[in-house]
Structure 1
Amino acid sequence: MVVGLVLDSRLPIGIVPVVSANGLATEIRIPRDINEALNVVFEENHEIEIDA
C-alpha cells in the first residue's frame, strides 16, 4: 500500500473511496460521491489524525 510509504512522515494523504467496501472512508465520514470526497480532501484545514 502507498500509505506504508508515508506512515512515519507528516505527509498528508487524501482518501477517496471508489468502491462500496471502504471501511476507513466510512469511519471518518468521507462521502462516497467522488466529487464530494474530493471537496473534503482539498478543504483548507481539514485534518483527521489516524492512529496506525
Structure 2
Amino acid sequence: MGIDDKFDAKADELKGKAKEAAGRATDDPDLEAEGRGEQVKGNLKQAAEKVKDAFKR
C-alpha cells in the first residue's frame, strides 16, 4: 500500500467525522452511527499502514 491508500484511509476518517457531526446536528442516530463506523474503518486502515511501514524498516 502506498500514499494513495494512506490518503483513502484519512479520507474515510474525515468523511466519518463529517457524517457523525451531521447526524448529531440533525438528530439522526443512523447517520451518526454510520459516521462512527467510517471513522473506525479509516483508523484501522491507518493502523495497518503504520504496521507495514514499521516492517519496511
- State the TM-score, normalized to the length of structure 1: 0.28
Q: Which has the higher contact order (CA 8 A, sep 6+)?
A: 2
Task: Point out the structure with the larger helix share.
Answer: 2
